[in-house]
A and B are shown apart, each in its own frame.
Chain A
Amino acid sequence: GAVVSQHPSRVICKSGTSVKIECRSLDFQATTMFWYRQFPKKSLMLMATSNEGSKATYEQGVEKDKFLINHASLTLSTLTVTSAHPEDSSFYICSFGGGVSNQPQHFGDGTRLSIL
């Protein structure tokens, strides 16, 4: 089946740092990818939908200037957490599939972000 590679798996950095997370589909051309955030023992929450070649669509309450999403190709989407603060510490996970096409979702392994 399709494979999604997400990198890095773990980041620990100081407050004020910007962190970039990459999500690659290895054997599938994904016009749409999804970015989620999950706080400890909480459900996955959709942050934004990343569309190849166009601006991402953000969910209500998600700051687009803080969480920059770039989907420049059919195999790569990036999420950049700008000027990260401790409250941004969370588990970030990408996926593609599902949605309009109703195909199964394929998830990256996630990135655990810890801001000190």
Chain B
Amino acid sequence: KNEVEQSPQNLTAQEGEFITINCSYSVGISALHWLQQHPGGGIVSLFMLSSGKKKHGRLIATINIQEKHSSLHITASHPRDSAVYICAPHNYGQNFVFGPGTRLSVLP
């Protein structure tokens, strides 16, 4: 079973700060998703990546398959970025395993 850890568990930042959320897992994977869960519970898939780096707006996700580690970065953070961020690694043909999530609060 893939053990997934995220750090930090909770993060409070001031608007405009650069934020990094880390995800590590124990079993080699073929892809990893970063998910954003809003306070109401709705979930949005931010990225799916299997190598290197992806960028979407102010969000950047990186993954190092050999080191079993991925990071999600938010540049110029904004209060609307406040949410729980979840990483979900998986292998082809297998179900997703979800990390415990990182609760981010961005203060104005």
Contact = CB atoms under 8 A, between A and B. Distances in A.
Interface string B80-108: 00000010101011111011110000000
B98 A44 contact: yes
Nearest to B30: A102
Interface size classification for chain B: 20 to 34
Contacts of B57: none
Contacts of A49: 95
Interface size classification for chain A: 20 to 34
Contacts of A99: 90, 93-96
A100 B86 contact: no
B28 to A, nearest CB: 15
A30 interface: no
Interface string A3-40: 00000000000000000000000000000001000100
A45 B45 CA distance: 16
Nearest to A42: B100
B86 A105 contact: no
Contacts of B43: 44, 93, 95, 107, 110
Interface centre among B31, B35, B96, B99 (most CB of A within 10 A): B96
B48 interface: yes
A46 B43 CA distance: 14
B42 interface: yes
Contact of A34 (B48, B94, B95, B100): B95
A42 B48 CA distance: 22
Interface residue SS majority, chain B: loop
Contacts of A109: 40-42
B100 A98 contact: no
A104 interface: yes
A42 B33 CA distance: 18
Contacts of B101: 43
A104 B41 contact: no
Given A44-B43, A99-B93, A100-B92, 11 more contacts: A38-B41, A98-B33, A98-B90, A102-B31, A102-B90, A104-B45, A105-B33, A105-B88, A107-B45, A110-B41, A112-B41
